[in-house]
């Protein structure tokens, strides 16, 4: 492989500002901003919006959908359950016959 075609792979700090969490890893990402890490070295820092510390799936704070409420709202809006008609005949369409 040609060495001049390989990307610069170096240590970078990724910082999640929402959670106040940062981690050091290796990446090809670059940044003009730097941060002094716990080991005393200075590394480029890349700010991210979501990491495993703030993502609802990983934190266990994911929203659950209230399906009973949605079904009740649908039935109130459109009436009755599936397959029932408004005349009580049980036939789809509600006319009760031809």
Give the model's pLDDT for residue 11.
94
Q: Are 95 and 87 in contact (CB under 8 A)?
A: yes
List pLDDT tens digits, range 13-61. Answer: 999 887 788 989 999 998 899 999 899 999 999 988 877 777 666 566 6
pLDDT value of position 97: 53
Structure pTM? 0.53
DSSP string, 1-43: --GGGS---EEEEEEETTTTEEEEEEES---S-EEE-TTS-EE
Question: Does the pLDDT at position 84 exceed 60?
Answer: no
- Determine the Cα–Cα distance for residues 47 and 12; give it in Å rounded to an integer: 11
Return the bridge partners of 23, or none.
14
């Amino acid at each position: 492989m040609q060495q001049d075609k390989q990307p610069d792979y170096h240590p970078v700090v990724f910082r999640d500002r929402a959670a106040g969490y940062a981690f050091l890893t290796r990446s090809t990402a670059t940044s003009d901003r730097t941060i002094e890490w716990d080991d005393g070295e200075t590394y480029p820092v890349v700010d991210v919006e979501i990491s495993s510390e703030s993502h609802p799936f990983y934190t266990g704070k994911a929203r659950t959908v209230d399906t009973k409420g949605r079904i009740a709202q649908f039935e109130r809006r459109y009436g009755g359950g599936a397959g029932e008609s408004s005349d009580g005949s049980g036939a789809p369409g509600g006319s009760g016959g031809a």
